Amino acid sequence: MRSKLNRLISSIFSDDKNLKKSNFERFFVEVGFFSKEQKKSIEEKIGVKINNFAFFEQALTHRSYLQISEQKIYSNERLEFFGDSILGMIVAEYLFLEHDVLEGDLTKMRSSIVNKQSLAYCAEKLGLDKFILLSFSAQKALQNGSNSLLADCVEAIIGAIYLDSGLENARYFITKKFIPLLNDNEFEYEKNFKSKLLELIQSQGKEAPTYKVLSEEGPDHMKKFEVGVYSENDLIGSGIGKNKKSAEQKAAKSALKQLKI
C-alpha cells in the first residue's frame, strides 16, 4: 500500500515535463462535434475568447454520451472537479472583497451562490444547455429538471476557461457572467415555492398538493411544460417552464399568489 502511495505521489510531483505535456494533450483532443457557428455562439455566451476548443468540447460532453460515441473521448467529470474548486475560490474572494460581514454570513452567501440550482439556472439563461452532448436517457433527465447535469456542465466550463486562458478569464466569467445572473429578477429557484405551498396547505389540515403536467410542446431540445398544482382536486395554480421542475415551482408560486401569501 505504501509503495503504491509513493508511486502516486511521485507521479503527481514528477519533473518530467514532456510526460506531463503528453498526458495533457492525450486528454484534450478536439474531436469535431461542433460546427464553426456553434463554436462562435458558445464563445459569445461565455464572453471569453476561446483559443483551444478541445477544452470546451470535453466540458460539454456528459458521461452518458461516451456510450453512444464512436470516437475515443472523455467526459466532463474531471473538468467539473477542477472547475468546482476554481468556482469556490473565486466566489469566496468576491464575497470577501465586496461584503464587510462576519464569516457566518459569508458562508451563507457563498452557499446561496454555489449550488446546483444557481448553476443550472446559469446554464439555461446562457443557453449552454443546448450544446451539451447527451445520451437519449440523459436528455430525458434534463427535460425532467436534472439540475445536477446542468450544474456539472457550468463547473466544467469554468475549468475549461481556466485551462484555455487562465485565472483572470475564469474570474471574469464568474463575476461578470455567472453572479450577475443571480440578481436577475427572474431568478427564483433559491426560493422554494413548493415547500412554502406544502407548509401552507398542511397547516390548513389538508393533504399535500399534487402536480400534474397539463401540456408539453416543442422539440426535445426546446420543450416547454405547463404544470398545474392541485389541492383536493381543485386547480389552485399553474406554471410554464423549460422542464417539469421549474414549471412546478412556478405553479406553486402562482398558487401562493392566488392564496395571497
- Choosing from 57, 80, 155, 248, which is the catalytic residue? 155
* SS3 state of residue 226: strand
Residue 247 φ then ψ, to 5°: -65, -40
* Residue 105 bears catalytic tag: no
- CA pair distance 22, 42, nearest whole angstrom: 27
224 strand-pairing partners: 217
End-to-end CA distance of the chain: give it in Å, rounded: 60
* Residue 155 bears catalytic tag: yes
- Choosing from 57, 80, 84, 129, which is the catalytic residue? 84
- CA pair distance 103, 85, nearest whole angstrom: 19
Alpha helices of the chain — where are they, by DSSP H?
A: 2-12, 17-27, 36-46, 54-59, 77-98, 103-113, 116-126, 136-143, 147-165, 167-172, 179-181, 193-203, 244-258
Q: 119-142 burial, b for 16+ CB within 10 Å, e for fewer?
A: bbbbbbbbebbebbbbbeebbebb
Name the residue among 58, 51, 49 with its Cα closest to residue 30: 58
- CA pair distance 59, 154, nearest whole angstrom: 8
Instruction: List active site positions.
Output: 84, 155
